[in-house]
Structures are given as C-alpha cells and as structure tokens.
Amino acid sequence: MSSKMNRRAFMGAVAAASTALSIRPAAAQAPATPATRYQQGASPWPLAINSSTIRPTPLADKIRVAAETGWDAIELWVNELEEYEKGGGDLKALGKEIKDRGLFVPNIIGLWECMPAEKEAFTQSLVATRNRMRMSAAVGSTFVAAIPAPDSPDFDLKAGTDHYRELLRIGREEFGITVAVEFVGFLKGIHRLGQACAMAIDTDDPQACLIADTFHLFRGGSGFNGIKHIQGSLIANFHWNDVPGDVPREEQGDEHRLYPGDGILPLPQALKDLKAIGYSRTLSLELFNREHWKQDPKVVAETGLRKMRECIAKAGV
C-alpha cells in the first residue's frame, strides 16, 4: 500500500474516533472533578469568623470559640498579634495551635498607613509594614490586607498603585505572604470596588488581589453588579455582613453591620455571582456590633455561623 493511502487511512481513523468520542452519551464520559465543599457540604466556600465579631474576648478564647462552634477559619487583626508577641507569645506556636484546632488563618488586618504618597514617607513606613508582614506570615496567614492610607480625598491612585506593587514584592520575596488591597467604603480616597480593581490590575503583578466587603460595597456606593465583571481569583477574601434599611447609606458606620440575612443587601444573588465567577476563597463574618460584644461570644459565633449557612442555602449554591 502506498504512503499516500496509509496517510488517508490514518486520517480517516482519527476522524471516526473523534466523531465517536463527541457523541458518547454523558454518562459514559469521565465525570467532572467535584468542587470542594465545606461545612459538611453546605458551603462551596470555607467560612471564617473575623475576630472583631466577638470582641472583647481574649485572643485564646476567640480561637477556642471559633473551633468549638464549627468555623473553618478565623481572621485576625494585627494588633492582636502585636499584643500576643509583646506578652511573650510565639506567633508560630500560635499558628500551630490554630491549625491543630482544625482552623486556618485566611487574612490578617492589616497594614496601616502603608501607602503615604511621598517616596521618603513610604520608605519610612516600610519599617512598621515589614514587621506587620512578618507577624502575619508567622501565624500562618495566606494574605495580609493593605488599607490605602493615609487617607485623603485626593489620594494619588498612581502612587498608591506603585506602592502596592512594592508591597506585593516585599511580601512575596521576604515573607512568603500575599498583600491584598482593601477598599473601605467610608474613606475619602479608595472607597469603591472599581478603584481597588484599578490598583490591583495596574500593578501588572499576577498576585495582585483585593479584599471585598458587602458593607463597603454598599457604603462606598459601588453596589453589587460589579462582582459579575471580575474573576474570582482577583478577590483574596470576602467580608460578609448585612446592613439596616432605616439608616441613610452615607451615615452608616461599622457599628451598623448586621448578621447576614437580617438587613437589605442582595446577599443570595451576590453569592450566586461569586460562584459564577469562580470565587473559591473564604467568606468571613465581620461585625462590629456593640450589643453582640456584651453577649456570650459562643452564642454570637453560633448565631453568625447559622446565619451564614442560611444565606448560602437561600442562594442555592
């Protein structure tokens, strides 16, 4: 048989095999890898309790309560790490204790005053910033939040982006931690989702990402439809909470945050959108309710987890 005929026969066999493969019934095809689930299958995302939710409980008790009430993770504040270390505590040992209790640390809040516009002031700020990165990495956190501050209505977006790029590099190269930019709805400068996205994207760094928050989406006026326009990988961590409908948006502060489902935010739709864009990281309950702080922290943690799971169930994700 000629080489031409051999080639023709081979191509015909390939075409026949391709056609057969394309019309195989779905049941005969290899099953898709199931998505990771948490909370005994109730959530596609790990659920964290932000330690602000159960202030002024001591740090050791916050960790214990989070574990005993069934959370997947606990999100901490850098001042807690500073106080723990000043008291003689070993942050690496603390990280091991958290892990041994079945929890992880998704994010630390945060890097304060880390983006002064002037180059000299930024360089000077890096002393404190590096120390906060060190502590965050020592406790085993994946991310550390960088708040674009000092705040001002004329915050220099280009300078902030340049500084964020440098913070990403330092975090990665010196401490093995990823810095995420966090927009805050009541700031005068970076207070909207689009502004934070611009900072992250314009760094041209593949690890650039942001911390989102349902309260700040509402308070800063971004709304929730912007979620549909970004990829899930751009979001490092998502703070989850609700807001009341009887307080004007511009007058709301952290103290107005509510349990998910107790307010007016479109949380179920937001969860559907997060699932659609491939977001796979943590949802973190972050509240600053003064009345909750007077209650048994275990009751608050249990209630918060139930409300989070009810919100997810309502979204049908």
Q: Which sequence spans correspond to the domains of the chain?
A: 38-315
Instruction: Tell me yes or no: is domain 38-315 CATH 3.20.20.150.
Output: yes
Find out whether 243 and 256 touch, Cβ atoms under 8 Å. yes
Amino acid at 213: D
Contact 208, 164 (CB under 8 A): yes
Q: Give residue for tokens 């051999």.
A: 6
The string of pLDDT tens digits covering residues 9-27 is 434 443 443 333 332 232 2
pLDDT band, residue 264 (cuts 50/70/90) = very high
Residue 24 is predicted with a pLDDT of 29
Q: List pLDDT tens digits, range 109-127.
A: 999 999 999 999 999 999 9
> For 168, how many CA atoms within 13 A lie in the half-sphere containing its CB?
20
Distance CA 82, CA 88 (A): 10
Closest C-alpha to 291, from 268, 314, 262 = 262
Please check whether residue 50 is in contact with residue 57, taking contact to mean a CB–CB distance below 8 angstroms: no
Sequence-distant (≥ 6) Cβ neighbours of residue 195 within 8 angstroms = 157, 183, 189
Tell me the mean pLDDT in the region 292-305.
98
- What is the per-residue pLDDT for 35? 72
- pLDDT per residue as tens digits for the range 154-209: 999 999 999 999 999 999 999 999 999 999 999 999 999 999 999 999 999 999 99
The CB density around residue 160, as the number of other CB atoms within 10 Å, is 26
179 burial (CB, 10 Å; 0-12 / 13-18 / 19+) is buried
